[in-house]
Structure formats: C-alpha cells, structure tokens
Amino acid sequence: MSHPIPCNLITGFLGVGKTTAILHLLENKPENETWAVLVNEFGEIGIDGAMMQGKGAVIREVPGGCMCCVAGLPMQIGLNMLIARSKPDRILIEPTGLGHPAQILDILHGEYYQDVLDLKATLCLVDPRQLAEPRYLENDNFRDQIAMADVLIANKADQCTEEQLQAFDDFGSNQQPPKALVTQVSQGELNKDWLDLTAITRAAAKPDAHKHHKAMPDIGPLELQPGEEFLRRENKGQAHFSCGWLFADTVAFSFNRLFLLFNSLDVKRLKAVVKTDMGVRGFNMQEGVLSVLELDEAADSRIEVIDSTDSAQKTLWHEIENLLLSCRLTADVEE
C-alpha cells in the first residue's frame, strides 16, 4: 500500500482568486513531484481547467454545479480517476465559489478515502472588502467556507485599505476554534508550506444551508457534432444563473471586439478561454474588472457567464450569444 496522498481544499467565494492561487502554487511545485488539481465549476462549460492547462499539473474538471451535489458522486468519480491515472504526490481541490464545504470535507474524511488521502489544511481565501458587506456576511456558504477553514487568507490585499486589512486581521484572529494561520496576500501568492499545516475538524454553522442542485437532465456529452460550430449550456442554483458556450477549434474571434464586448457586460462573473487573432487569451471579469491572460494552448474556445438577475435566463443569454457571434473573425464575411 502506497502512502496516503496529501490533499488540500482551496475554498473561497466566487472570483476571490482560488484559481490564481493554485496557478501560483503550481509555479512553485517541486520539479520531481506530480500534482493533480480537481476543479469544480458552477457553469456547465469548464473554464478554470483550460486556464490551468500546460502549467505542470494533471487537471480534471467537474463542471455543471457544485460537486458536493448529487451525493458527491461527480467529485468521487473525478478524484478516483485522478488518483488512478496520475498517481499524484499531492492533490489540490478547488470547489465552486458558490459551494458549501461541509459535504466535500465529509466525503474526503470518510472511510473510503481514509487510507488513500492525507487531508491537510483547508485554505480559504477571502476578499477583505466583502467582510463589510451584509450580502456576503449573511450568505451561509460564504460564512461556512470561513468557519471550516484551517487557514484564512486575505487575497486582493492590493485592492484594500489599511482599515479593511486590519478588520480582516481582527475578524480572523477572533475565530473559534482559532485558525492555524491568518494572513494576507495579493495575486494568490500562497506559500507552498501552508499546504502542510494540520487540518482539524471544524463545525459548520449551517451544514445544510447549501441548496443542493438536482441532477441536471442528461443532455449528452459536452461534444460538438461534426459541422456544429458551437453549443450552449445553462445552469442554475444558489440564486445564480450561468450560461456557457463551447466553440469549435476552427472558430477564431477578434480580440478587440471581444474585449469591448466583455467590458460592456454588466454581469456578476465572466470567464473565457478563447482563440483570437492575437493568440489564445484567457479573460476573467470579477466585480466589473476585466483582466486578460496570455495562454499557450487551447483545444477550443469557451465562454462562461454567471449572473443573479432574473433577466439572465430570459433575454440576457440570447443577447450575449448574438454579440459573441458577431465577434467571430468570420462574422464580417457572413454579413
């Protein structure tokens, strides 16, 4: 029997910087080790996996809702495949920002993984600015992500005032039971050694707060049929709606048009990995701030939008789809 594999959960609310932190950790991975990342997204079209491709780790995505839902089955299947195929030296798990950690931790602590995983500290990233906002503080998922973490990390410190950072430190040091570490970073610059801090059992205030997704109707694999240019998938839950588009590898977009389009959208969260006339680019929009990443490779183009307004399902997705189509390089020719 081989040694149990060290495993960490990296939690935190939607867009706080979990994927950025994992990318930073991968940059500092010992060269002789194989790391695996299991990443779960709310949207049906996984983007974070595409953002992490080619960064030296084995990646597996669990898209389409929170992986704790549907009795944790998608998570277990994903995890078991990662373990069997890549025999990793360490596993990092990024749940969706809208998820509740209780059920995930229950599964990882359970009998099935007892001899397989060595569950280390759960690291929760927090944007200190959100600690002053009731809509976050009153969100059970947000609160329990913090309550169940062993390590509490303020990310986006570069965006915070001294007062906000001080309030975070006070908030963190008042947690009971005390956290193993309360600290501040920018750009997800987590120290690799924090992964080896010890995990203890921490109770959730509202373990049942998360309204589990029902199993999505079986709408077939995420695969384009021959000749199909794109497909679109929607999802909803936790008072949020998402819509994602997967475009064939033959489709390329105008970078400038996409940049203008994304900047003009008033949505809660947008992520995309797209083939453009300037190369493969990752787009990431959170709280109205759009950032662009140069990427080496992408098998196809993916765009995922999350919003919490009712109009999202009714009209917004359709409008965005038409605008996306007009950003294709071939759109001029068709017109």
Ligand X SMILES: Nc1nc2c(ncn2[C@@H]2O[C@H](COP(=O)(O)OP(=O)(O)OP(=O)(O)O)[C@@H](O)[C@H]2O)c(=O)[nH]1
Residues in the site for Mg ion, rule: CB under 5 A? 18-19, 48
**Residues 6+ away with beta carbon under 8 Å from 41:** 47, 48, 61, 62, 63, 64, 96, 304
Tokens matching residue 276:
């453009």
Which residue has its beta carbon closest to Mg ion?
A: 19
Residue 191 as a binder of ligand X (CB under 6 A): the answer is no
Helices marked H in the chain: 18-27, 48-52, 73-86, 101-109, 134-137, 140-147, 162-173, 255-264, 311, 317-326, 331-334
Residue 130 as a binder of ligand X (CB under 6 A): the answer is no
CB of 48 to Mg ion, least distance (A): 4
Helix 101-109 vs helix 73-86: crossing angle, to nearest 10: 50
Residues 253-312 that bind ligand X (CB under 6 A): 269, 284, 286, 291
Residue 161 as a binder of ligand X (CB under 6 A): the answer is no
CB of 104 to Mg ion, least distance (A): 15
Residue 20 as a binder of ligand X (CB under 6 A): the answer is yes
- DSSP helix/strand/coil, 258: helix
CB of 5 to Mg ion, least distance (A): 22
CB of 221 to ligand X, least distance (A): 23
Residue 183 as a binder of ligand X (CB under 6 A): the answer is no
Residue 188 as a binder of ligand X (CB under 6 A): the answer is yes
Residue 17 as a binder of ligand X (CB under 6 A): the answer is yes
Residues 200-239 that bind ligand X (CB under 6 A): none
Residue 314 carries which side chain, given as an amino acid letter? K
Residue 166 as a binder of ligand X (CB under 6 A): the answer is no
Residue 7 host element (H or E)? strand 5-12
- Residue 25's φ and ψ, nearest 5 degrees, are -60, -40
Residue 187 as a binder of ligand X (CB under 6 A): the answer is yes
> Buried b vs exposed e over 258-282: b needs ≥16 C-beta within 10 Å?
bbebbeebebbbbbbbbbbeeebbb
CB of 152 to ligand X, least distance (A): 15
> Which of Mg ion, ligand X, none lies near 156, with the C-beta cut-off 5 to 8 A by kind?
ligand X
- DSSP helix/strand/coil, 237: strand
CB of 25 to ligand X, least distance (A): 12
Residue 159 as a binder of ligand X (CB under 6 A): the answer is yes
